[in-house]
Structure 1
Amino acid sequence: MPLWSAEIDKLRPAIRSEGRAMAEAMSGAFSAVFPGGTATAYDAEALSELRAQLTVPGAVAAVDRYVNGPRGRVRLRVFTPDRPARAVLLNIHGGGFVMGAPEMNDGLNAALSRALDIAVVSVDYRLAPEHAYPAAHDDCETAASWLVEHGAAEFGTSRLLINGESAGANLAAATLLRLRRRGTAHRFSGIVLEFGVYDLSGTPSAAQETDHDVLSAAVLRGMMDLAHPDRSPAERRHPDLSPLYADLTGLPPVLFGVGTADHLIDDTLFLERRWALANGNTTLQVYPDAPHGGTGLPSVTPHWQSALLSFLDSCLTSPGASGTAPAHEVA
């Protein structure tokens, strides 16, 4: 069975061209942080500069909220629709566990809020190496648990969704697994996981050296080493760190998105199969020749956004949903 449609296959030349341009534009910045491909050789100044570039807020209206966590307050960046919210989407940004901020998703989060009449809450979790594991996991769990307990009172709806990209996809899956242990994962009606890392010890594709991805194998290795120092490959396979090794039963419907030129392609394909075996409720979107972050390519975005909106809307219109307004195009 083909992993993508004939319609998508026709876009391959454009995807390939856009993907290589994206890799050329961004790979240098990541390589500057990890010139040797290991945490011991990382450039702290380059990392600081890249972090600053990723924290510029978008030209959209957002409200910052703070909730109490185990080690202090956790910032939440909130977008609310003009009409009563049908659900609340918890967004977890990417950045290899060492960079990134809620602001980098301002445009998409605001658009999703408008398109689906949902509130979007993006969590500003602590970053490595300053804050080692389990700091990021704890902050994301704090945000999710706060929504479980207070979402209805704060936003007028008890329906919850969660999404994440790259390292944020790892954290989104790990957060749901933590909530399942609390007995509250069922409160989430769906999850979207974009080009995530789900095996921190490294899948085969993560180790392959290529020149057509935004993230090289060396950069990936450097990020994992910096975020999880002094942990052996076996220790990195702990289910709280690597959801691929978790018991995945009892989890909600999931939409996966990834490109074949992504070093993390295996992570998505492996986790999707295991999730499907455990729950039978997966949707997989694969884009040929797209690199890491490829759902943002001009030729891919319209298809991915359509799939994303359709999936989220289906989660909201299932039995028990709070509304049935149809999804429309993100603008």
Structure 2
Amino acid sequence: MSIVTTGQDVAEETVAFNRRLAATLATVPPVYEVDDIAQVRAGFGVFPPPKVLDEGVDRVVPGRDGDVAVRVFTPAEVRGVYLHMHPGGRVLGSARNQDVRLWALAEETGLAVVSVDYRLAPEHPHPAAVHDCVDAARWLVSTSATEFGTSRLLLGGESAGAELAVQVLLGLRESGQHRAFSAAHLSYGVYDMALTPSARAYGEQNLVTGTLSERWFRAQSFPGLSEAELHAPDISPLYADLHDLPAARFVVGGNDPLLDDTLFMSARWQAAGNPCEVEVVAEAVHGFTAFPITVATRELAAQNAWLAAH
């Protein structure tokens, strides 16, 4: 497996942005110091609210625990469908948070996008989010030909969304439905709920997330579990049997506490016999594709090109 490092030519710009980001985040308390989960979800007003586009259509699909909300973006000509899981540590975010990005993806790739608005912790701890994402995937596998005129399916997500994408593939494997998905795009995912070495050593650097923040997110979704229990394969996919999975593209920033999650998971992905590509973006922090910097623009273009080709 080859690991490609990119972004060295604009590393100074990325580092300068990281400093400004740290200064902004220093004006608000970290998530683990806020008692009101609603205040955490509101983002303390540090960042502007996401822009909601008319092109996004809210729907519900059937799930084992009741209807599952999804948000759908359909381009003029549909050449496939991308099942998307949003970021937010299973605690924050929604399918409406990335309308601009997902509509651009749909237009540029010809992929309809189905983004799952899975239930959030702590109100709905594990396995609620997994159930919703797997059930949305089952619906898509069974209806994509009639709903979108195509059986070409891909999936992916960012951060917790990348982890949930892997959980979807593992959840569908027993039935063989996982083979309906030809490729997975996995951006800065979290695959070890007890924390990989890079997450343990990162500390708190005011750069989106850190060691204590990551532990807080895990505590919301997996309350009361010991470290040994967090290593269970159905909770931490890094420890799962990864055979017979599709081609994947992994991407992560070099200044991301979840760097090892991507490096370890991609190594196991390939060792299990699955094709994969790995890209580490110099100096980039967790969630870097959401920010107005050169490496983000480049990465989103690369993601679209990869999805279009698969």
TM-score, normalized by length of structure 1?
0.87
Structure 2 matches for 1:109-148, cutoff 5 A?
109-148=102-141
Structure 2 matches for 1:215-254, cutoff 5 A?
215-254=209-248
Counterpart residue type for residue 311 of structure 1: W
State how far apart, in whole Å, the 2-side matches of 1:173 and 1:2 are. 20
State how far apart, in whole Å, the 2-side matches of 1:30 and 1:60 are. 34
Partner of 2:190 in structure 1? 197
Counterpart residue type for residue 264 of structure 1: L
Partner of 2:143 in structure 1? 150
User: Does the CA-based 8 Å contact 1:163-1:193 persist in structure 2?
Assistant: yes
User: Does the CA-based 8 Å contact 1:261-1:290 persist in structure 2?
Assistant: yes
Deviation (angstroms), 1:228: 0.7
2:55 is paired with a residue of what secondary structure? Answer: coil
Partner of 1:319 in structure 2? none
Report whether the alignment pairs 1:19 with 2:14.
no
Identity of aligned residues (%): 40
Structure 2 matches for 1:20-169, cutoff 5 A?
20-26=19-25, 29=28, 31=30, 33-35=31-33, 42-50=35-43, 56-83=50-77, 85-169=78-162
User: Does the CA-based 8 Å contact 1:192-1:256 persist in structure 2?
Assistant: yes
What do the CA deviations read for 1:115-160 (whole angstroms, capped 9, x no partner)?
1111100011000010111110000001000000001110000010
1:65 is paired with a residue of what secondary structure? Answer: strand
Deviation (angstroms), 1:58: 2.0
State how far apart, in whole Å, the 1-side matches of 2:85 and 2:26 are. 22
State how far apart, in whole Å, the 1-side matches of 2:276 and 2:48 are. 31
State how far apart, in whole Å, the 2-side matches of 1:134 and 1:201 are. 16
State how far apart, in whole Å, the 1-side matches of 2:184 and 2:26 are. 28
Which 10-residue stretch deviates more, 211-220 or 146-155? Answer: 211-220
State how far apart, in whole Å, the 2-side matches of 1:165 and 1:9 are. 22
The number of equivalent residue pairs is 306
2:100 is paired with a residue of what secondary structure? Answer: helix
Deviation (angstroms), 1:197: 0.6
1:10 is paired with a residue of what secondary structure? Answer: helix
Partner of 1:38 in structure 2? none
Q: Equivalent of 2:168, from 175, 184, 187?
A: 175
Q: Equivalent of 2:295, from 297, 300, 324?
A: 300
State how far apart, in whole Å, the 1-side matches of 2:26 and 2:234 are. 29
Which 10-residue stretch deviates more, 63-72 or 21-30? Answer: 21-30
Partner of 2:264 in structure 1? 270
User: Does the CA-based 8 Å contact 2:3-2:277 persist in structure 1?
Assistant: no
Partner of 2:180 in structure 1? 187
User: Does the CA-based 8 Å contact 1:23-1:291 persist in structure 2?
Assistant: no
State how far apart, in whole Å, the 1-side matches of 2:72 and 2:25 are. 28
State how far apart, in whole Å, the 2-side matches of 1:48 and 1:2 are. 35
Deviation (angstroms), 1:213: 2.5
Which 10-residue stretch deviates more, 51-60 or 96-105? Answer: 51-60
User: Does the CA-based 8 Å contact 2:74-2:112 persist in structure 1?
Assistant: yes
State how far apart, in whole Å, the 2-side matches of 1:279 and 1:44 are. 41
State how far apart, in whole Å, the 2-side matches of 1:236 and 1:255 are. 25
TM-score, normalized by length of structure 2?
0.92
Report whether the alignment pairs 1:255 with 2:262.
no
User: Does the CA-based 8 Å contact 1:55-1:101 persist in structure 2?
Assistant: no
Which 10-residue stretch deviates more, 214-223 or 21-30? Answer: 21-30
